[in-house]
Chains A and B, each alone.
Chain A
Amino acid sequence: MKKSITPWLIVLSAPAILFACMLFGPSGYGLPGTDSGAFILRLNRVIAGFVVGAALACAGVVLQALLRNPLAEPYVLGVSSGAGLGAALAILTGLTAITAFALPLSAFIMAIATLALVCALARQGGRTSVYALVISGVIVSAVFSSLLMFLTSRAKEHELHTIIWWMLGNMGVNSVGVLRACSLIILLGIPLAWILARDLNALTLGKEMAHHLGVRTDIVVTLGLVVATLISAAAVSMTGLIGFVGLIVPHVMRKLVGPDHRRLIPLAAIGGGLFLAVCDAIARTIIKPEIIPVGVMTALVGGPFFIAILRARRKQGWIE
């Protein structure tokens, strides 16, 4: 078996990269004193970036395998529009003023409700086909997006600002409780996805073949969808909609470490986490003291970088 050093390189460089991210901030370069408020603020931001990036990349890996679709991403089953609607509702009803938990909780609940609705719509005669799932995901997303747009059009100016920032992705998590709760879901969800790794490998051959290979396909597909959606819902409700990570990081990591999900899931999680943490470090320093929404940065920074990797390693990865 071919041994590659790439996985080790990624794992070993992770702490160094995360530490480097600590050195950047709108308040200046260098590590703030450990007892200062800036230190805690920055630490939370780096942790949030890492955890959210890990969740999105991992969810992307799982969904691309389950749906056998290179265009699948964490939001394909309507999580983003559901969570968006939940967030907007929380903002417009004024619940956000009561507790910091209101927005993430509302977004999370709506995201899960959306998944349930999509699955229910896709279910036919006791069976669910992946195509039906994707299509009902698209339909539900479209409907919820329209509702979200309607709500946005009725919003007052300061509410509008909050909604838009949320939709662009905002790493500034102002409640440690929210950070803890969402991180807990994600840190439990990723190992759960990893347990399914072998089944995911088999499922890339199609549901029927996986069945022949002894995979309990119905359970694995359902569990995989639920886990992927749970962790992306947790990520989204914490920091808003961040695109690109969940779609592209899985592809890049597959090129770097191969398609075996037992390796791919943990490494995509680390890779996605590092990527988002770095993007946020750039976003909060590039025009300081202003902070750019991190969702703007991901594609701007990641696009060229990942195209270079994909082109250089054309031989491996997703089929040509």
Chain B
Amino acid sequence: MKTAIEFKNVSCGYHSTTVLDNINFQINEGEMIAVLGPNGAGKTTLFKALTGLLRPTTGIINIFSNPPHTLSAQKRSALIAVVPQELETPMAFNVEEIVMLGRTASLSRWATPNREDHRIVERCMVYTDIADLRDRPLSELSGGEKQRAIVAMALAQEPKIILLDEATSHLDMNHRFEVMQIAKRLNSEEGVTVLMCSHDLNLAAEFCDRFLLLDHGRVVANGSSSDVLTERILSDVYHCDVRVQQHVGSGSVTISPAHRLTPTRAGQGIRVHLVAGGGSGEELMRRLILAGYEVSCGVLNNGDSDTEIAHALGVKTTLEAPFSPISNEALQRSLEAASSADVIIVCDVPFGPGNVANLKIAEHAGRQKKPVLIAGSIEKRDYTHNKAASAISTKLLAAGARTWHGIPEVMKQLPQSK
């Protein structure tokens, strides 16, 4: 089997921002693959790089062994066709003319479309069931009809790869299904490689065999639905609680965002103290404030990204000078602030000699029999000389502290007001 698409250490972005960060994957000819990920994960950039609209800053992209920007426009269009989310033209082209636009690159400048071109256009219109609409202007069609016409146009390119770029997001569930079924048929009958990106995880799960999950420009997971579409991975990437259920009859997977386990304002009157730093507490702070918790945080260094968020949210914060180790004085102030807290949460922040003192706050709370929630395992991010942070963590866990992975989980463990 040939490799249709290959990304080798690809980084890519706009101006000075890097969007794709060292991406690696391969897609074989004839696969049907979904590229998933939250907004801003890099799906669009990945498609742009793939179609040669954007050149990777480092790394190599291959489409049937050719980097896209080295392909001639004509050859590229014979390999890859794109079905976008939406297509508008200010001119009143009718459906047949639009589908014929798919032949643009294969027609010579001088020739008019010959019998073969008309045959291809005809076949594509029949395939997508729009032959009856051939004389209607594209702009007059309904969303579903329009999208089928665009698929027909892409088919008329006779490509080896079709990219569905959010191609069904504007459609109702019936038309969504219709367009996807056309793609599936193409994939299974004609061996066309289909790459779709979509926010509709269920649709992707229904039709695709492999999934590529992106987050912050990296490939987080790559594999079958049981490898990628798991509650743990999805809730981590989408920052919300996710339920994955397998349908008993069909075996298909249904993914739904469960209600946030903390109902709104569940935290009213409850005080939480965070040990964070380096951005590890940003998202949690936001969530806690939204749920009505009273949040304090410290000790943070001034200028830390967590400090900025804390200020923005009005979180009471104990500060230390930028890049300085925590002084005794700051620690005392923070201990004071934490003394009124009901819960202490230790975020996923690395510990070194400078900030290991922060764990004293957790220790202190532990002695007072207050709940302590620690993110992941501190051993893995302990950069102190004598593994002091790990030692404290072991002691805390022995005394009843609990660990957490991902924000939905920690929110579940928090006490709630009645």
Contacts and interface: CB of A to CB of B under 8 A. Distances in A.
A208 B104 contact: no
Interface stretch (B72-80, B243-251, B316-324, B410-418): B72-80
B104 A211 contact: no
Nearest to A69: B90
A201 interface: yes
A317 interface: yes
Contacts of A320: 139
Contacts of A254: 91-92
A223 interface: no
Nearest to B111: A198
Contacts of B153: 213
B102 A213 contact: yes
B152 to A, nearest CB: 13
Contacts of A319: 89-92, 139
Contacts of B109: 195, 198
A88 to B, nearest CB: 36
Interface residues of B, number: 35
Contacts of B15: 125
A70 B89 CA distance: 11
B91 A259 contact: yes
Given A201-B104, A319-B139, A212 B91 contact: no
Contact of A212 (B77, B89, B90): B77
A68 B90 contact: yes
Size band of the A side of the interface?
20 to 34
Contacts of B90: 68-70, 204, 318-319
B186 interface: no
Interface stretch (B93-101, B198-206, B290-298, B326-334): B93-101
Interface in A304-320: 316-320
A291 B412 CA distance: 88
Contact of A2 (B53, B135, B139): B135
A205 interface: yes
B173 interface: no
B84 interface: yes
Contacts of B97: 201, 258-260
Nearest to B135: A2
Contacts of B52: 211
Given A201-B104, A204-B93, A319-B90, A211 B74 contact: no
A199 B104 contact: yes
A308 to B, nearest CB: 19
A212 B92 contact: no
Contacts of A216: 73
B104 A198 contact: yes
B53 A214 contact: no
Nearest to A68: B90
A2 B135 CA distance: 8
A208 B107 CA distance: 19
Interface in A194-211: 195, 198-199, 201-202, 204-206, 208-211
A215 B73 contact: yes
Q: Find the residue from B93, B104, B107 having the highest chain A CB count within 10 A.
A: B104
Given A213-B77, A213-B157, A205 B92 contact: no
Given A202-B101, A205-B89, A318-B92, 10 more contacts: A199-B104, A201-B97, A201-B101, A209-B82, A210-B104, A212-B77, A212-B81, A213-B102, A213-B105, A215-B104
Interface of A: 1-2, 65, 68-70, 125, 195, 198-199, 201-202, 204-206, 208-216, 254, 258-260, 262, 316-320
